[in-house]
Every structure is written in C-alpha cells, then in structure tokens.
C-alpha cells in the first residue's frame, strides 16, 4: 500500500503524518508512508485544504485530522 500525507509542513500536517505512521505500524500493514510538501504536487491531487491523506493515488481525506478510530477504518478498508 502506498500512503502519502499531503501538507506544506504545518503542525496539523506533521500530526497526520505521525498518526498515520503510528497506526500503520500498530496495524502491521505493509505500507510505505511518505510526505509530500511541494504545493504543485499537492494541487495535482486536487486538494484545496491540507492536511490530506492519499492511499494508492486516491485522496481519502482532506482538510482535517481524523480520529485514531477513523484513521484505522480508512487504512484497513483501503488495504488492497
């Protein structure tokens, strides 16, 4: 699974990146988590509000930090 956290480096973006990495590890998922900070790359995903979460090239969340439960559900339902 390819996971990207989109954000320019604001505290919320960093929080989402940390939470995503922790949840991936906790669930034991085979996933690569990376951070995209380039505004042009972020805009190419059609994201207008950060932080955003992209799983396998699909935007699954944007503009907010999910709860741990919600993030777990997002990750497990997109684990293909």
18: domain CATH number is 3.40.30.10
**54 in active site:** no
Q: How far apart are CA 9 and CA 15, in angstroms?
A: 10
Q: Are 65 and 52 in contact (CB under 8 A)?
A: no
Spot the catalytic one: 3, 5, 6, 13.
13
> What pLDDT is stored for residue 53 in this prediction?
98
Confidence of residue 79 (pLDDT cuts 50, 70, 90): confident
**30 in active site:** no
Spot the catalytic one: 2, 8, 9, 10.
10
Q: How many CB atoms lie within 10 A of CB 29?
A: 16
Q: How far apart are CA 12 and CA 31, in angstroms?
A: 21
SS3 59: strand
Q: How many domains does the chain have?
A: 1
Domain of 61? 2-67
- With 90 as the cut, is the pLDDT of residue 80 above it? no
- Angle formed at CA 22 by CA 2 and CA 78, multiple of 5 degrees: 35
């Amino acid at each position: 699974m390819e996971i990207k956290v989109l954000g320019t480096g604001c505290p919320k973006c960093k929080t989402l990146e940390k939470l995503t990495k922790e949840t991936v590890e906790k669930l034991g998922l085979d996933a690569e988590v990376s951070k995209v900070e380039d505004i042009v790359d972020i805009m190419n995903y059609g994201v207008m509000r950060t932080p955003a979460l992209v799983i396998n090239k699909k935007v699954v969340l944007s503009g907010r930090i999910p709860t741990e439960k919600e993030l777990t559900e997002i990750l497990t339902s997109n684990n293909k």
